[in-house]
Structure formats: C-alpha cells, structure tokens
Structure 1
Amino acid sequence: MANSNSFLCIDLGAGSVKIAAFEPNDAGGLTLKAFAQQPLGLPGAQDAVREGALKKALATLLSDPAFASKKINLCPPGYQVFSKFSKLPPVEAKKIAEIIQLDAQNNIPFPIEEVVWDHQVIGASSDSELEILLVAIKSELVDRVFNTVGALGKSVDLVDTPQTALCNAFRHNYSELGGCSMVLDIGAKSSNVLFFEDGKIFSRSINIGANAITQEFATEQKMRFPEAEQFKLEQGFVALGGAYQDPDNPQQAAVSKIARQVMTRLHIQVNQTIQSYKTQRKGGAP
C-alpha cells in the first residue's frame, strides 16, 4: 500500500514515458521508491497518434503496485511547450500583473483563450527592467492528459514544463556552484539548453533530438522506425570521423556517421546559443 504522503512524477517525453515514486523522509527530503520507463516509439512524437501510444504506456506503467499513489506531478514533452524570456519596463507594482498579461497576449503564438499559461519572475536587470519567463501549452493537450490519467484512477496535482522542472532539479542539487553553468538536455524530438548564473536562468529550445538519428538511419537503410531505434540503441555510437576506420558492419558504420552528422548540427546550435547568451544576455562563459 502506498504511503499517504507519497506521490508520482511522470515525464511524458516525446520518445518515452518515465515514472518515479517518491516519499518524504524524516530528514526533510525525498526518497525515490521506484522508477520505470516505457518507450513510445515514433508515435510519441506525432500528435495525430500520440494519445493512443500515451494511454497504452501509462496503463502499463500504472498497473505496477509500486506506483499505487493517486497523486501525480506531470511534465509534458518540450516540443508541446512554448516558452519565452521577456523584459518588462519599470512600472508600479500594482501594474505588473496587467503588463505581464499584455506581454503574454503579444508573445504566445496561439489565441490566449486556447492555452494554459503562467509566468515566473526571474529577477530585475541593472536598468530595473523586470525579467520573466513565459510558458504556455494548448489547453486541449492538457485536457487530454488529465482525462487519460483520470480514467486510470489518478489525479494531477501539478503540471510543470521540462525547462522549469530541470531548473528546479539543478538548483536543488547544485546550489553551491558559482559562476555560469550550462545544462544540455537532449530529448527525442528537441533539446533544451539552460544557463544558471548569479541566481538567474536562461533557456533555449533547439529542434534537434535523438529521433533525428533514428529517422535518418531508417530512411537510408529502408528499415521500420522501431527496428532502426533498436539497432541504434544496441550498436550505435558517434563516429570519430577523419582517418579513423569505419566499423566492419556496414549498418553500424552508417548509423555512426548519421549520429556524428546530427550531433555536429546540435553542436553548432549549442555554440550559437552560448554566443547569444554571452552577447545578448551579457552572461559569462559556462
């Protein structure tokens, strides 16, 4: 039987669903009691068929008695979440909420009545501008997940975004680090780059993920996505390039070259993000 204070955290990624069961401990922290994951395959990154794959994965995971808690914290996949850092002009405290509402209407790329949105105040710049993080997700996507989880006898306490969840985890575990730190979170469909410096954060989403390797390999080798994914996980690696000899297995050589090409594209985007952070945000080198 689950502890009455226990809860579940579920990461609804584009490539897999991860679930963890936690209980508060006497030291004031949390104890991880169980962890599991279920792959979604290519349907996990395709909205037209994602819901069916998600229902099947959640039903499988939540059938385990280790995940009997009724309370759930959810995190949707990064590609479904809109996020943007904004600077607001100095205004009276009573007008801040009004300015943030206006900023959300101007920047969120969907009608405001069709999304669930929120903000987090990051801090104030040297010229007294208020720095905020806007996040939004379409209401229909949230409703689908709530309905799916509800049908399995669970209730959702919290919906967080990948960027803020990772930010909270980093700050909790590495709060003593000084200077500028960078975290690169490589997902199935997209990747997140986060910077932490002097109590402030900045993040950028990059539309390159591990599925790109699988999809390009599957197309080149005329394989189905699940077969290509399995081969990538079992035998794939990033080719060294240059004068290094290719593997004897031609499929292994092919997937390693594709992995190198995708990682090179990601490396370029990460470098551009670092330069942008240093020049536009006046940040330090990570």
Structure 2
Amino acid sequence: MGLFRKRRESFGLDIGSSAVKVVQLDGAGRSFELRAYAMVPLPHNAIAEGIIKDPPAVVAAIKEAVGKAGIKTKTAAISVSGRELIVKKVQLPRATSREIADAIQLEAEHHIPFAIDEVFLDYQVVGETSNSMDLILVAVKKSKVTEYFAVAEEAGVSPVIVDLDGFAMENQYELNAADTGGDAVALIDIGASVMKTNVIRGGASIFARDIPFGGHNYTQAIAQRLNIPFEKAEVAKVGRAAGVNWDDMVPALEAVSRELSLEVQRTFDYFASTAESERIGKIVLSGRISVVELGHPRRARAAVPERQIRHREGRRALGRGARPGGRGRPRHAAPGGQGRCMIRINLAPVRERKAFRISLPSFNLGVLFALLSVLSVILIGGWWWTLASEKDQLERDIVVAERQLETLKAAIAEGNRYKAERDDLERRVNAIEELTKNQTAPIYFLEAVAEAIPRDLWLTSTSERDRQLHFNGTAFSSTALADFMANLRASGKFKDVDLVVARQDIAKVPRLITFEVVCRFEI
C-alpha cells in the first residue's frame, strides 16, 4: 500500500527577527535538491527579544515569502529559539519506549524551571549502553509556540513540526561535514538578534546556549556613531550604502566585535565548566553576520577566541547555486558523517483530529430502521450478557476475597499475640541488663580503693556527699597519706583528689595522723 501513497509535501519556514525565509527541498536519505527559496525582510523591531511585536507585519511577510517562492503546500516546519527553551542531556536506566515516555515526565520536573503544564516536551535517545541510555530532553514554553503558530496560521500556513534552531543547524552540519576525529564541534549561528551555540560530538548535542546578541548590535552601533537611521546603518553594514565611509564605521564595528568575543568566550567557559573532559576541535560559523566583512582580518578573528580555534568553516544554509526567490538544482550529498544520529525533535502541540465524515447513499428508510433495530437488539443483548457475566465473576471474586479476609484476620491476631509476647520479653531483658549494669559499679569501686591503700594506712569510714566521696582514716606517717592520694589519682578512676584535713596527736605514742580526703569516682 505504501507504493500508492502520495508523499506528504512540506516546506521550512524560518521566522527570524530580521527576515522571514522559506525553503522547500526534494530528495531523501542524505541527498537533497533545492526546489524553492525566498526571503522577505521584516521591519525593524517587528520581532524583538524573541517576541512578535508586530503580528500583521510578520503575517504579511510570510504570505509574501510563500508566494514569492511559488510554494503550493500549506504544511510547514518551523523552529524556535530563545530563553524560553530548555535543553538538557539526561541519563536514564535502559528501558522500553513506553517506559521512557512515562519516566520523562518525572525527569523533566527535576531539570526544567517551569511548571510542566506550561511547556511542550520532547526527547530523543542519542546514546545507549547495556545498562543506561543518554537522552536529549527539550522543553519550550507553550506561549512561545502558540505565538508563532498564530502568525503562521493567520498567513494560511499549517505548522506540523516545531524544531529548535540549534538542532536544525546541527542536522544540516551532520549531513555535510566530515568526521572531526572525536573532538567536539562548536556550531555558532549569529543571527540578527540571537547568537545560538550548539556543541556536538559524535552526532549528539552535548551543550546548547542562546544569547541575545547578533547583527543588530553592529547595526545599532553604526547608527549611533554616524547618527543615521537604523535602516541606512543596516545597508551600510553590508557595504551597500552610498555616502557612508567604511573607515568611519570601523571603531563601532571593533567595539561590538570585542563584545561578541567576550560573549563567545563566556559561552566556552561555561561549556568547559560543565564538560571538563571535552575539547572543542572546530568552530563552524553561520548566519548573515558571519560572512560580512568587518574590516581587517584581525578584527574579524577577534570575534572568536583564538585559543579555541583549530579550523573554521562558513557554510551557507542552502549551498552554492541557490538564488533567493527562484528555483535551482544544486545537489547536497553527504561526504561525511555516515551513521550519525539526526536530532528529530517536535515541540508542536497535539492537535485534535478532524472529524471523518461518511456520506451515505440513498436508501429505503424502512429497511434501514429494521436493520438498525435488529442491530440495536443484538448490541443490547450482547451488552446485557457481558454485564451478567461480569456480575457472576464479581460475586465469585467477592466470596474468594471474604475467605481470604478471614484467613488474614486470624493471621493478624496471631501476629499481634506474638508481638505482645516479644515486647514483654524485651522489657524483662532490659530490666535485667539495667540491674546488671548497676551492680558492677560497687565492685569496681571496692577494687580500686583496695588497690590504692598503702601499708601503714587504714580507712575508718567512707561516705558520699554532694556527689563527692569522703575517705576518713588513720596513717602512721604523712608518707603513707601522700602515697594513698597518689594511688587514687594514678588509678584513673578517681578525679579531683584533694586533702580536706590532716591532724597528728603528738601527745600519744605512736603519733598517728587522722585525715579526710575527698574525690569523685568515675568508671
């Protein structure tokens, strides 16, 4: 059946901040042929900071571009860029397609700073191992997509694909570029108001960033320096304005180029902080500003950090032989990149399918009603039989469930009894352990005191007051008393050993010393 199915035609629609471009290709696989192309400029600030400020002007430009290119189909693919986009590379355990679709919603909540119901999501698997899968997760705010959908539909175009500018640029590069030897490639598209950077390696995107900086920065700088209108500055930038000296524009161009260089450097620094082991081996520039002569070659190279450069290439989006507004036949084969993964992301909203109408031929109404009645009886009978069967099955399930419930109740009661006995035994064991623990202290105390008493000294009483031990006794000499106090300290079990009082009765023989020593006992 596929041999007789007509291939659905579509075209690419690029709604940029400075112009609307349309292109239609023929071909399949990795070889394409340009069929139609046109570009229509937009008024200044018709689209600013990614927001459509002048929808009627954009709608008119789309209609003019489609008509100028002679495109007949209404089905189109568009792409978006800007801060409303989130691109993340995530890793998940290896799973089936259905399992990934369920898990991606949960994964998105951890990586996307917007509410899930405010974005359109899509993903693509870009790498697999035996245990894990690498995915590119993409989200865009619904308001961004619906804004671009509105102007396209107002112009009579039906978008069916919403891609990312960076991924579209990556796919084009993969179709045309040779192998880079494993190094990462930085694709930098400098548009009128947004500079899009996409770092790829091995056919997969590993870093993407959009910066609000582009060709309009050069135009605005020229307009301010020369005090001329923006439109005239735009023409002067590409060297087509009469009466404007190029040398007068050089300081403005150099200042903006330095800013551009800093922005590129920040992007590379940010990439290096997220992928320390990656190395950028090639930088590919695209966009209208990338082919504009900015004066001396050193000024042009200032826009890209030299320490990052090994090789630079500039490619036009349609290749040689493409003429705006016309039809050409240049072919684009794929000299390299065989077997690489093409990024196919679609952030278009799911639309309701149009109702499929059936036109019935003229028919006898009596026969029709009879057939419908018989059919209704059969359907109702079948429905009733199905309900009756389900009712019988449910009743059998209820009986089985009630039996299982009784068994579970008995098991729960037995378990509760075992639990009560276990708790009682634990309480008894804890009480015995506590008693045993408390009985050891007096034994340790008596042993320590006995070891500390020297010869020629004996204790007459021991007491405890204010958490201190009081030893009262008699000694034949002060040396025996000093040995006793030293032994207490050396045992390590008696702390803060101190002599309270020591008396010697010289009237008696032998001359005995009565004393009182205080300390604290610690095990």
TM-score by length of 1: 0.78
> Deviations for 1:210-261, whole angstroms, at most 9, x for unmatched residues?
222223333444443323222222269xxxxxxxxxx975632333223322
Measured in 2, the distance between the counterparts of 1:174 and 1:161 equals 20
Equivalent residue for 2:272, pick from 266, 271, 275: 275
| Corresponding position of 1:227 | 232
Q: Is 1:59 aligned to 2:63, yes or no?
A: yes
- The counterpart of 1:174, out of the listed 166, 174, 177, is 177
What secondary structure does 2:149 align onto? helix
Using the TM superposition, give the Cα deviation of residue 32 of structure 1 relative to its aligned residue in structure 2, in angstroms: 0.6
* Distance of aligned partners of 1:65 and 1:162 in 2 relative to their CA distance in 1, 3 Å threshold: closer
1:203 to 183, 207, 214: 207
What SS class does the counterpart of residue 53 from structure 2 fall into?
helix
Contact 1:184–1:192 (CA<8 Å) still a contact in 2? Answer: yes
1:48–1:152 Cα change, 3 Å? closer
Aligned to 1:118: 122
Question: By how many angstroms is 1:91 displaced?
Answer: 6.5
- 8 Å CA contact 1:204–1:273 kept in 2: the answer is no
The question of whether the paired residues in 2 share the 8 Å contact of 1:23 and 1:32 is answered with yes
1:215 to 220, 225, 229: 220
Q: Secondary structure at the match of 1:67?
A: coil
- SS at 1:160 equivalent: strand
Report which stretch shifted further, 134-143 or 217-226: 217-226
From 90, 93, 106, the equivalent of 2:93 is 90
> What do residues 241-282 of structure 1 show as CA deviations (whole Å, max 9, x unaligned)?
xxxxxx975632333223322332234234425534650xx3
State the structure with bigger RCO (CA 8 A, min sep 6), 1 or 2: 1
If you compute each CA radius of gyration, which structure gives the higher value, 1 or 2? Answer: 2
Give the superposition deviation at 1:19: 1.0
Give the structure 2 partner of residue 24 of structure 1.
Answer: 27
TM-aligned CA deviation for residue 184 of structure 1: 1.6
- 1:107 correspondence with 2:111: yes
What is aligned with 2:136? 133
Structure 1: distance between partners of 2:162 and 2:279: 31
SS class of match (1:55): helix
Contact 2:220 2:230 in 1 (8 A): yes
Task: Report if the CA contact (8 A) 2:221-2:256 is conserved.
Answer: no
Which whole-Å CA distance do the structure 2 matches of 1:23 and 1:271 have between them? 37
Partners of 1:214 and 1:232 within 8 A in 2: yes
Letter in 2 for 1:210: G
Letter of the aligned partner of 1:147 in structure 2?
A: A
Contact 1:15–1:45 at 8 Å: present in 2 too? no
Match for 2:238: what amino acid?
L
Contact 2:12 2:78 in 1 (8 A): yes
Q: Is the 8 A contact 1:5 1:24 kept in 2?
A: no
Please, which runs of 5 or more residues in structure 1 have no aligned partner?
Answer: 237-246
| 2:255 alignment counterpart | 258
Judged with a 3 Å threshold, the aligned counterparts in structure 2 of structure 1 residues 235 and 255 are, in CA distance, closer, same or farther, namely: farther
Among 153, 157, 176, the residue aligned to 1:154:
157
Equivalent-residue separation in structure 1 for 2:228 and 2:129 (angstroms): 52
The 1-side partners of 2:258 and 2:30 are apart by 46
The 1:84/1:189 distance shift into structure 2, 3 A limit, reads same
**Residue 75 (str. 1) matches residue 82 (str. 2):** no
Answer yes or no: is the 8 Å Cα contact 2:74–2:158 preserved in 1: yes
Q: 2:10 aligns with which of 1, 7, 12?
A: 7
Decide whether the 8 Å contact of 1:16 with 1:44 is kept in 2: no
Do the aligned partners of 1:277 and 1:283 also contact (CA within 8 Å) in 2?
no
CA contact (8 A) 2:87 2:137 kept: yes
User: Residues 21-69 of structure 1: CA distance to partner in whole angstroms, max 9, x if unpaired?
Assistant: 22237x8843211212122233222425143332121121122252222
CA distance in 1, matches of 2:248, 2:218: 13
Query: How much has 1:109 moved relative to structure 2?
Result: 3.0
Correspondence for 2:423 = none
Q: 1:95 to 1:69 in 2, by over 3 A?
A: closer
Q: Does 1:39 align with 2:41?
A: yes
**Contact 2:209–2:267, Cα closer than 8 Å, also in 1:** no
In structure 1, the residue corresponding to 2:208 is in which secondary structure?
A: strand
Evaluate the alpha carbon distance shift between residue 264 and residue 150 of structure 1 in structure 2; reply closer, same or farther with a 3 A threshold: closer
Other structure's SS at 1:63 match: helix
Give the count of matched residue pairs: 269
Counterpart of 1:239 in structure 2 is none
Query: Which one-letter code corresponds to 1:99 in the other structure?
Result: A
Change (3 A) 1:144 1:178: same
Sort the Cα spacing of 1:82 and 1:23 in 2 relative to 1 into closer, same or farther, 3 A: same
Q: Deviations over 1:144-191 (max 9, x none)?
A: 333333333332231111122122222222264432233221122222
The CA distance in 1 between the partners of 2:83 and 2:267, in whole Å, is 21
1:73 alignment partner AA: A
Summarize the Cα distance change of 1:265–1:52 in structure 2 as closer, same or farther, 3 Å threshold: farther
Asked whether the equivalents of residues 120 and 140 of structure 2 are also in contact (C-alpha less than 8 Å), the reply is yes
Q: 1:86 to 1:221 in 2, by over 3 A?
A: same
